[in-house]
């Protein structure tokens, strides 16, 4: 158990470094670049993010989840990853002009061509990081991630300050990919297979294809709001929606993305050894909601000063969007580990069905909402998260017997900790003269809320408290 806690600790260190650098970078870039420049890059990022899902055809998940992994299978997976990555690089570069014309943003073509270079190098570094995750070498993963994050931060800020505009973000991404590739080579574990091979490729395509099908469908749902806003509303609206979502995604950057690389192989290990991964899921949900529920409620209450601190006064138009979406984000945090449980235990088809139904439902909500305006688009995003939460719960009940009442009982201490955090923060809101909040009120609310939350976690003996103690002993 202590080894698992140690891996979580390294995972949190990795993601907190990324979150801190992203936080500082977003503050600087919000002042160095205009909303329209950031909006153009946001469109490019979601397009390349969609292509990224196809890139390895699910080989990363297979490397982690397979019971046995031979050299022949590693070579076959590398062949698939290289073939898909390089084809996507050519496809994205070739479609750059057409996509720029579709979105009526000429600068988009140049940004897409720069970002397509990432697909040339990523297949190699991703092979290393997948094997490191399988073997739970969290310290090595931290070193690779730190190299990537620091390079992206330094290069992007330097180029933006030098007047590169939207291209600064794209070149910063490529510089980080190049350094991340070199770091992965240095940190590679013994026995890595670097010679591509055709033997076994066909056997890997089907399970990998099922995994990537679910990921592609899910990614379509993730990027749909930005793509719809970019087409129906404009680049500035894309930037506003992106900033609102980026505030809420701070939790995913700081917690969920740190937990998932450890939780996924942990679920897979339970499945390989005949254990009960559902109990691991419930424990993970208890720890995550103890953090997510206070965060999202606090973000909704203090959205105004939080946006000012992060991005500046010129981005206040995204505050109503944050308040619309934060409650649904808190609800979905109960179920966002479901994907890793299903894939790790071999229910890839079930996850793909959830993704397909959820995305169809989300698109059905987003398209008419996009015609109505940006606020309605945020409402549609929130409702789609509620719908996905219901789908995940229904699937977990059918496959593992998880009832909502069982899950809520396990989360009672998280609810108490949330109340202890939000109550003193609300007192700060009441004390704000005329309801006008500033950075001082944000700091006061955060401090009071953190104190109440910490006391509740400790006095209740919340599972998170024991986990943090075990992680601390390993440092």
Most confident range, picked from 134-148, 150-164, 429-443: 150-164
Q: What is the mean pLDDT of residues 200-208?
A: 57
Q: What is the pLDDT of residues 87-102, one digit of tens each?
A: 888 998 999 999 888 8
Got the DSSP string for 70-110? -HHHHHHHHHHHHHHHHHHHHHHHHTHHHHHHHTT-THHHH
Output 10 or 453, whichever has higher pLDDT. Answer: 453
Position 257 scores a pLDDT of 63
Question: What's the CA gap between 383 and 281, in Å, rounded?
Answer: 24
Position 226 scores a pLDDT of 73
- pLDDT category at 254 given cuts 50, 70, 90 is low
Q: What is the mean pLDDT of residues 48-52?
A: 76
Position 215 scores a pLDDT of 60
Q: Is the pLDDT of residue 475 over 50?
A: no
Output 455 or 230, whichever has higher pLDDT. Answer: 455
Output 348 or 263, whichever has higher pLDDT. Answer: 348
Position 197 scores a pLDDT of 67
Q: Is the pLDDT of residue 403 over 80?
A: yes
Give the number of residues written for the chain.
475
Position 263 scores a pLDDT of 67
Position 383 scores a pLDDT of 94
Q: What is the mean pLDDT of residues 41-47?
A: 84
Q: What is the mean pLDDT of residues 170-176?
A: 92
Question: What's the CA gap between 456 and 167, in Å, rounded?
Answer: 47
Q: Is the pLDDT of residue 58 over 80?
A: no
* Contact assessment for residue 45 and residue 245, using Cβ atoms and an 8 Å cutoff: no
Position 304 scores a pLDDT of 84
Among 425, 423, 416, residue whose Cα is nearest residue 462: 416
Position 433 scores a pLDDT of 58
Q: What is the mean pLDDT of residues 195-218?
A: 60
Question: What's the CA gap between 81 and 70, in Å, rounded?
Answer: 17
Question: What's the CA gap between 57 and 215, in Å, rounded?
Answer: 9
Position 30 scores a pLDDT of 78
Position 370 scores a pLDDT of 82
Q: Which residues contact 453 (CB under 8 A, 6 or more apart)?
A: 294, 417, 418, 420, 421
Position 349 scores a pLDDT of 79
Q: What is the mean pLDDT of residues 65-73?
A: 62
Position 256 scores a pLDDT of 67
Q: What is the mean pLDDT of residues 203-220?
A: 58
Among 21, 52, 48, residue whose Cα is nearest residue 156: 21
Question: What's the CA gap between 86 and 93, in Å, rounded?
Answer: 11
Q: Which two tokens stand for residue 324?
A: 């619309």
- What angle, 0 to 180 degrees and rounded to 10, lies between the N-to-C axes of helices 235-251 and 201-232? 120
What would you measure as the largest C-alpha separation in the chain, in angstroms?
Answer: 71
Position 1 scores a pLDDT of 43
Question: What's the CA gap between 418 and 121, in Å, rounded?
Answer: 43
Provide the 10 A C-beta neighbour count for residue 470.
Answer: 17
Output 288 or 273, whichever has higher pLDDT. Answer: 288
Provide the 10 A C-beta neighbour count for residue 303.
Answer: 23
Q: What is the pLDDT of residues 354-380, one digit of tens each?
A: 888 988 898 889 888 888 888 898 999
**SS3 assignment for 409-427:** HHCHHHHHHHHHHHHHHHH
Position 425 scores a pLDDT of 79
The position carrying tokens 């024991």 is 466
Q: Is the pLDDT of residue 400 over 70?
A: yes
Question: What's the CA gap between 250 and 241, in Å, rounded?
Answer: 14
The rounded Cα 252 to chain-centroid distance in angstroms is 5
Cα–Cα distances in Å, from 18 out to 15, 144, 147, 151, 152? 5, 12, 10, 11, 10
Q: Which two tokens stand for residue 295?
A: 């965060």
* Contact assessment for residue 130 and residue 192, using Cβ atoms and an 8 Å cutoff: no
pTM of the model: 0.64
**SS3 assignment for 290-319:** HHHHHHHHHHHHCHHHHHHHHHCHHHHHHH
* Contact assessment for residue 180 and residue 224, using Cβ atoms and an 8 Å cutoff: no
Position 307 scores a pLDDT of 85
């Amino acid at each position: 158990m202590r080894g698992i806690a140690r891996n979580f600790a390294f995972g949190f260190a990795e993601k907190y470094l990324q979150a801190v650098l992203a936080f500082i970078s977003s503050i600087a870039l919000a002042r160095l670049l205009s909303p329209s420049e950031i909006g153009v890059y946001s469109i490019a990022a979601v397009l390349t993010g969609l292509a990224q899902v196809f890139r390895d055809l699910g080989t990363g998940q297979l490397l982690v989840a397979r019971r046995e992994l031979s050299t022949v299978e590693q070579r076959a997976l590398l062949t698939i990853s290289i073939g898909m990555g390089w084809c996507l690089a050519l496809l994205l570069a070739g479609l750059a002009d057409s996509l720029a014309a579709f979105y009526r943003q000429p600068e988009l073509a140049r940004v897409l061509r720069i970002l397509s270079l990432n697909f040339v190098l990523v297949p190699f570094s991703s092979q290393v990081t997948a094997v490191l995750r399988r073997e739970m070498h969290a310290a090595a993963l931290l070193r690779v991630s730190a190299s990537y994050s620091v390079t992206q931060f330094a290069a992007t800020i330097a180029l933006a300050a030098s007047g590169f505009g939207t291209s600064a973000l794209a070149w910063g991404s490529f510089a980080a990919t190049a350094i991340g590739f070199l770091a992965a080579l240095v940190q590679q574990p013994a026995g890595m297979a670097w010679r591509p091979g055709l033997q076994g490729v066909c056997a890997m395509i089907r399970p990998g294809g099922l995994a990537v099908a679910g990921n592609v469908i899910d990614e379509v749902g993730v990027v749909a709001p930005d793509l719809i806003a970019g087409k129906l509303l404009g680049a500035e609206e894309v930037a506003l929606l992106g900033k609102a979502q980026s505030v809420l995604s701070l939790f995913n950057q700081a917690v969920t993305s740190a937990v998932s690389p450890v939780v996924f192989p942990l679920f897979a290990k339970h499945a390989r050894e005949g254990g009960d991964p559902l109990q691991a899921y419930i424990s993970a949900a208890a720890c995550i909601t103890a953090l997510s529920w206070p965060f999202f409620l606090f973000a909704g209450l203090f959205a105004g000063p939080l946006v000012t601190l992060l991005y500046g006064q010129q981005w206040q138009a995204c505050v109503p969007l944050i308040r619309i979406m934060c409650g649904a984000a808190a609800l979905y945090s109960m179920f966002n580990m479901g994907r890793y449980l299903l894939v790790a235990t071999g229910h890839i088809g079930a996850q793909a069905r959830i993704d397909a139904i959820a995305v169809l439902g989300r698109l059905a909500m987003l398209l008419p909402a996009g015609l109505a305006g940006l606020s309605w688009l945020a409402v549609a995003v929130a409702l789609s998260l509620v719908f996905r939460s219901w789908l995940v719960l229904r699937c977990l009940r059918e496959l593992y017997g998880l009832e909502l009442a069982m899950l809520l009982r396990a989360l009672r201490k998280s609810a108490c900790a949330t109340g202890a955090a939000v109550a003193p923060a609300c007192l700060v809101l009441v004390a704000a003269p005329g309801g006008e909040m500033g950075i001082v009120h944000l700091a006061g609310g955060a401090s009071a809320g953190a104190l109440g939350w910490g006391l509740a976690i400790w006095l209740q003996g919340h599972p998170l408290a024991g986990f943090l103690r075990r992680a601390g002993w390993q440092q």
